[in-house]
Chain A
Amino acid sequence: MTILPGASGARAPRPRAAAPHRASRLTSAIVVAVLIAALLLFFVVPVIWLLLAPTKTAGQLEHDFPLSFGSFRQFGAAWSHLTSFQGGVIWLWLRNSAVYSGGALVLTLATSVPAGYALALTRFRGRKLLLSVTLVVMIMPSAALVLPIFLELNEFHLIGTAWSIILPFSFYPFGVYLVYIYFATSLPRDLLSAARIDGADEWQVFRRIALPLARPVIGLVAFFSFVGNWNNFFLPYLVLPSSQQFPIQVGLNQLLSSTPSFNPVAGAGLDITSPELALAVIIAIVPVLVLFLFSQRALVAGMLAGSTKE
């Protein structure tokens, strides 16, 4: 059902006020066009600029047309400058990010899927309390808990270990809520009761009936968890003391402070200039970008998870 302005006009009482009608429709079409064009520029131009930046030298970035392509040779130069920064530490950062986000992903799925299932489809004392607490913690911005978590980790002398990142990352109430909503709305309880009557125990019911049906929501939880953790900066920034342990996001921060354009003192003499920094940003977001491109549809469904429940 496309609703074009023209389609609605066909039904309007045309003979009476055709001319003013058309004029106002023209103005509103122009308003719409200008709005969309402006937003399109705002959202897309920075992305295009970013993708083109590593093909130019710092000088070309200043003097050439901002959205021009430089050369592949220059891209290669930026690449080798970046990858030789501190002996290729950027690969280490990427690997760390993968370990932290991947480890947390496994733990998140292992804990949130059974929990969401149990909250939706089993009955136990304390269930409502757990559900309410989950909702509140889910809505509360996670950054609010970062400093308290740091203080706690510090108390238990866990600062600086990979677990000090992976374990807090694994706590993902939003994932539990997504799974809960999914099971509560799309899996009929009668189906489970039938299986129980047939003699299946609780684990078999979960494993054989619920889990295979949950594939879409598992994908969704995995996506949001991975992307959120990959882009997380605050906790690793507080918890990890050494550059060797940084995830890529914290690494980008270090690159920023090593760039002469933003730090003339410390950055002097280094090869990390604007094109290298732009390239680092691209490398840092590639995994997330790829996921974005492939899971658009699922994403929209996830963002609207609440709306299915009115």
Chain B
Amino acid sequence: MTVLHSQHDTVPGPVQAPVPARRPQRRRADLAGYLFVAGYTVLLIAFGVVPTGYALYLAFTNADGQFSGINQFSKVATDFRFGPAFANIAVYLGMWLFLVIVLTVVVAVVLRSRVGRGVSSVLRFLFYLPGALAGVASVLVWLFMLDPSVSPAGALLRAFGLDNFDQVLAPGNLPVILVLIAFWTGAGGWIVVMYGALNNIPDDVLEAARIDGAGPWQVAWHIQIPMIRKWIVYMAILAFATGTQLFVEPQLLETASLGRISPTWSPNELAYVFAFQYGNFNAAAAISIILLVVGLLCAGLLVTRSGLFKVDEDR
């Protein structure tokens, strides 16, 4: 719309000429826009809107397709595995968020202002590299890293009193193991993002602080970190949202632990068990809806509050 306006504004001459021309042109632009977004919109409807709607339908009906109100939700919520699954994920999220926020910010600051540029770029690449092993590969690598008999850090594990693989894979250790894996594959990417955000701070701001006698840590604490706060919030919300959806990692660890770790450790695993072991799709859908609402809330919060995503700028 704005394009057309400005176009007309620049057209000199009689005012009445653009007015009749406007309608068909507008419609033509509309049509072109629709054609360009058609393919994507079909996919969005098929794999975004419809599954959400269908999951909602299942969550509010019973196996016979009759409306059942919040029955499915109360049924899964009172299941003996529901509380532990969400408690597990909460413990994991607490540790993971703390570690990822503190360490990535500190490391980004260090890489930005305490080491040379070449060294910094090599380090960023090396920290980022394990990101290529996301998913199953990272879990398999860490199964080896955490097995005292083959691990390069075997001595370290033994120092913690973990003499064999069984002791390492005790259910209580799972949050720590998952945090290690998540940090190994994911932190490098966030360090790169934080570094980029720090890079956007003008040099003269830092220079001014330094001339005023601020040391590097003071500069970091009083200037750099406050100036990238938006990005830290962004990271925290995304890390939280992704963390709630954990599935692959606990699932594989369950396999490797020969069943000592609960197969319903995380909410997504619980939904999986409901769907595939009991064939209870309604209950599975109810859990999915709960997780989806968490994800939607996080996304909505980011889009509307963070100021990082401008939906539009009507120039």
Contact = CB atoms under 8 A, between A and B. Distances in A.
Contact of B312 (A111, A128, A253): A128
A229 to B, nearest CB: 11
Interface in A257-277: 257, 261-264, 274, 277
B137 A285 contact: yes
Interface in B1-60: 1-4, 6-7, 28-37, 39-44, 46-48, 50-52, 54-55, 58
Contacts of B192: 299-300, 303-304
B296 to A, nearest CB: 6
Interface in A224-252: 227, 231-234, 237-238, 249-250, 252
B52 A148 contact: yes
A86 interface: no
Contact of B126 (A44, A203, A206): A44
Contact of B196 (A155, A285, A300): A300
Nearest to A121: B3
Interface string A211-223: 0000000000000
Most interface-central of A227, A299, A304 (chain B CB within 10 A)? A304
Nearest to B217: A28
**Interface range for A:** 35 or more
A310 B4 CA distance: 26
Given A256-B252, A256-B255, A289-B132, A139 B115 contact: no
B199 to A, nearest CB: 9
A189 B37 contact: no
Contacts of B288: 144, 147-148
Most interface-central of A4, A46, A155 (chain B CB within 10 A)? A46
Contact of A143 (B43, B47, B106, B247): B247
A123 interface: yes
A69 interface: no
Interface string A90-118: 00000000000000000100111011011
Contacts of B33: 118, 122-124, 127
B151 interface: yes
Given A115-B41, A130-B41, A234 B248 contact: yes
Most interface-central of A148, A256, A263 (chain B CB within 10 A)? A148
Given A135-B303, A144-B295, A281-B137, A117 B36 contact: yes
B244 A124 contact: no
Interface string B104-144: 00110010111111000001011111111111110011111
A186 interface: no
B86 to A, nearest CB: 15
B130 to A, nearest CB: 6
Nearest to A277: B140
B285 interface: yes
Contacts of A53: 144
Contacts of B58: 151
Given A61-B150, A136-B299, A148-B52, A143 B268 contact: yes
A13 B212 CA distance: 10
Contacts of A49: 141, 144-145, 152
B175 interface: no
Nearest to B39: A111
B303 A303 contact: no
Given A123-B29, A155-B54, A115 B40 contact: yes
A290 B183 CA distance: 22
Contacts of A202: 28-29, 32, 35-36
B246 to A, nearest CB: 8
Interface in A185-211: 189, 192-193, 197, 201-203, 206
B140 A171 contact: no
Contact of A145 (B47, B136, B154): B47
Given A2-B117, A28-B215, A115-B37, 16 more contacts: A50-B141, A67-B152, A141-B295, A144-B295, A148-B52, A149-B47, A171-B48, A176-B40, A192-B3, A233-B136, A233-B248, A249-B136, A252-B137, A256-B143, A257-B255, A292-B128
Interface of A: 1-5, 8, 11-13, 24, 28, 32, 35-36, 39-40, 42-47, 49-50, 53, 61-62, 66-67, 107, 110-112, 114-115, 117-119, 122-125, 127-128, 130-141, 143-152, 154-155, 167-168, 170-171, 173, 176, 184, 189, 192-193, 197, 201-203, 206, 227, 231-234, 237-238, 249-250, 252-253, 256-257, 261-264, 274, 277-278, 281, 284-285, 288-289, 292, 296, 299-300, 303-304, 306-307, 309-310
